[in-house]
Amino acid sequence: MYVAVYPESPSTALTSALLSAGYKPVPVTDVADVGRKEPREGWACAVVELASDPDLGIVVAGKLRDEYDLGVLVVVDRTLTADLDGRNSFDDFLLSPVDTTELRVRLARLGGTSIEESHEPVLRHEDLELNTATYQASLGSGPIDLTYMEYELLRFFVEHPDRVWSREQILSKVWGYDYFGGSRTVDVHVRRLRAKLGEKRAHWITTVRSVGYRFS
């Protein structure tokens, strides 16, 4: 589930909380950027973090709700709550520091997803386990260190085994929007995944000549 996040450089704490809650945060520079970066499956909702310019943030929140019909959650420091008084340009707010459980509950309500649905099961493939709630991965008896996009790519493969996917399809479904690196980005991440899976398991990701990749 993709969440549009404003401003373009959200706090590390908010980004980490969104990932832990099972969402894919996509930073946007302005309201128009929300339209340009909208994934095929649409936005679950939007999150606006009120930082250096709370008034601008509140204006953006209102436009996101009015122009894109998105549920908008405002994240605000306790010292700035007075700025929310009398405002109706957002649907809900959350005080920072962000509590991941509370964030998950509030976003589930805004995005029309039940709280139960946001808790995805542990995904397994042979001796590989992916915990989609904590973004932890284990292989055999030990953990493996994956970047966020490596994890997302591996998760996509595990969820869609045996089917051949083109690089463009993978880029669209995993990255969610036109990514600067193009289809070469997929090749780079596949190469890294194979290295981290190790020689005995690298064959799980098969290259299909002139088409793309298959996971089995």
Confidence of residue 101 (pLDDT cuts 50, 70, 90): confident
> Tell me, what CATH number does 6's domain have?
3.40.50.2300
31 and 95 inside one domain: yes
What does the pLDDT read at residue 89?
77
Q: Among 51, 77, 110, which residue terminates a domain?
A: 110
Residues 98 and 12 in one domain: yes
- Domain for residue 117, yes or no? no
The answer to whether residue 116 sits within a structural domain is no
Query: Domain boundary residue among 78, 110, 142?
Result: 110
Residue where a domain stops, chosen among 66, 90, 110: 110
CA pair distance 62, 71, nearest whole angstrom: 10
Continuous H helices in the chain: 12-20, 31-36, 54-68, 100-110, 148-159, 167-170, 184-197
Query: Domain limits at 149?
Result: 122-215
Does a structural domain hold residue 171?
yes
pLDDT for residue 114: 45
What is the number of structural domains in the chain?
A: 2
140 with 210, same domain: the answer is yes
Residues 10 and 84 placed together within one structural domain of the fold: yes
pLDDT value of position 137: 92
Q: Is residue 104 domain-shared with residue 14, that is, in the same domain?
A: yes
Taking residues 125-144, report their average pLDDT.
88
pTM as predicted:
0.53
Q: Are residues 10 and 106 in the same domain?
A: yes
Structure tokens at 55: 């008034």
Same structural domain, 126 and 91: no
Q: Is residue 147 part of a domain?
A: yes
147: its two tokens: 């970047």
Query: In which residue are the tokens 């289809």 written?
Result: 183
Which pLDDT does position 143 carry in this prediction? 93
What pLDDT, on a 0 to 100 scale, did the predictor assign at position 68?
A: 87
Q: Does the pLDDT of residue 46 top 70, yes or no? A: yes
Residue 3: closest CA among 32, 30, 23, 31:
23
Q: CA 125, CA 159: separation in Å to the nearest integer?
A: 9
pLDDT digits (tens, 9 = 90+) for 153-210: 999 999 888 889 998 888 877 876 545 556 788 999 999 999 999 999 999 999 999 8
Compute CA distances 50 → 17, 60, 73, 166, whole Å: 16, 10, 11, 39
Please indicate, yes or no, whether residues 6 and 104 belong to a single structural domain of this protein: yes
> Residue 197: which CATH number?
1.10.10.10
pLDDT of residue 215: 94
Q: Please list, in sequence order, all residues whose beta carbon lies within 8 angstroms of the beta carbon of residue 54, skipping any fewer than 6 positions away.
A: 76, 80, 83
pLDDT band at residue 118 under the 50/70/90 scheme: very low
Task: Please give the mean pLDDT across all residues of the chain.
Answer: 84
126 with 46, same domain? no
Asked whether the predicted pLDDT for residue 115 surpasses 70, the reply is no
pLDDT at 138: 93
